[in-house]
């Protein structure tokens, strides 16, 4: 199964599973060093804006993120190539981290953030942009929706949950930040570049 995945998708998936296994074996002793804390927290370190995306709070958290990566990542990597896929994924991860740090600073929340959800939400956005008519089926209720509508409704729902404070303990604004990072990459890629003029 893993052999059929393109290299970047496979590497990210394996890395997340291995980190979770190490975290489980060491009973979370690395949490304070690699989870994402707000910049004002004494436990904050610059590398956390990347490392948090390889840590998860439990098996189900890991499973659903990696399942989403497995379902949607290959289509994007096969179309873009490995390099562009990695650029896009980690831009989403960084934007999710930045958004979450702003939110936790404003709300004075000092709980750590972990999970690859920011990268995954960026991937969902890209899938909806590239394959808008592809049908996706909700787990509950099992209603097939075109990708563009599914992702739009999901984003609105995340915004609602984040603003109302519903479902505490979930970084809803990090999810939206991942989408924002993906949108910025799309905007950059689609901006016309000035042509180079060669003088003889």
pLDDT tens profile 18-50 = 998 888 777 666 667 899 998 888 889 999 999
Q: How confident is the model at residue 191 (pLDDT cuts 50, 70, 90)?
A: confident
The span from the CA of 11 to the CA of 66, in Å, is 11
Catalytic residues: 117, 175
The pLDDT of residue 156: 92
Tell me which long-range contacts 153-158 makes (C-beta under 8 A, separation of at least 24). 154/124, 155/125, 155/179, 158/121
**194: pLDDT confidence band, cut at 50, 70 and 90?**
low
Domain ranges of the chain: 2-190
Contact 95, 48 (CB under 8 A): no
What is the pLDDT of the chain when averaged over all its residues? 88
CATH of 2-190, one of 3.90.420.10, 3.40.50.970, 1.20.1540.10, 2.60.120.10: 1.20.1540.10
Point out which residues pair with 36 in neighbouring strands: 113
Q: What is the pTM of this model?
A: 0.90
């Amino acid at each position: 199964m893993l052999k059929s995945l393109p290299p970047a998708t496979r590497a990210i998936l394996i890395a997340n599973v291995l980190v979770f296994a190490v975290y489980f074996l060491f009973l979370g002793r690395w949490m304070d060093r690699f989870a994402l804390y707000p910049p004002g927290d004494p436990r904050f370190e610059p590398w956390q804006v990347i490392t948090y995306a390889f840590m998860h709070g439990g098996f189900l958290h890991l499973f659903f993120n990696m399942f989403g990566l497995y379902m949607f990542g290959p289509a994007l990597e096969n179309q873009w190539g490995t390099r562009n896929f990695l650029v896009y994924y980690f831009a989403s991860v960084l934007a999710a981290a930045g958004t979450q740090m702003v939110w936790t600073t404003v709300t004075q929340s000092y709980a750590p953030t972990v999970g690859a959800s920011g990268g995954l939400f960026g991937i969902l956005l890209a899938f909806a942009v590239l394959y808008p008519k592809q049908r996706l089926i909700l787990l509950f209720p099992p209603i097939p929706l075109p990708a563009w509508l599914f992702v739009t409704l999901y984003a609105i729902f995340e915004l609602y949950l984040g603003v109302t404070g519903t479902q505490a303990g979930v970084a809803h604004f990090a999810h939206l930040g991942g989408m924002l990072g993906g949108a910025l990459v799309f905007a950059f890629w689609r901006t016309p570049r000035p042509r180079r003029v060669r003088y003889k």
